[in-house]
Amino acid sequence: MDVIHDAVRHRFTVTLEGQDCVLEYRLAGGVMTVTHTGVPDAVGGRGVADAMTRSAMDHARAQGWKVVPACSYAIAWMKRHPEYADLPAS
């Protein structure tokens, strides 16, 4: 699955079967706030949100950023992935 990072628009995207999936974030002071994760029902259940979120977290780690999971999916994802426990902003 090809996850594309659009740094200008602050988003990670995947296009699957013509459907656009997106993870949006804000960036301020070295903190990435994940504000929205959206996957159309037509391509849901295939791990797209997981792939986008993992890419976002890996990118944040590589940049030395902290993360605030502000959407429900990102909050749940962080709880399921203790290997990213170093990322949440205090």
**Would you write out the chain's pLDDT as a tens digit for each of its 90 residues?**
899 999 999 999 999 999 999 999 999 999 999 999 999 999 999 999 999 999 999 999 999 999 999 999 999 999 999 999 999 997
The whole-number pLDDT of residue 90 equals 72
For residues 37 and 74, the answer to whether their CB atoms sit within 8 Å is: yes
* 78 three-state secondary structure: helix
The whole-number pLDDT of residue 1 equals 85
Q: Which domains does the chain have, with CATH numbers?
A: 4-26+38-84 (3.40.630.30)
The whole-number pLDDT of residue 8 equals 97
* 65 three-state secondary structure: coil
Helix (H) or strand (E) holding 30: none
DSSP lists the bridge partners of residue 67 as 32, 88
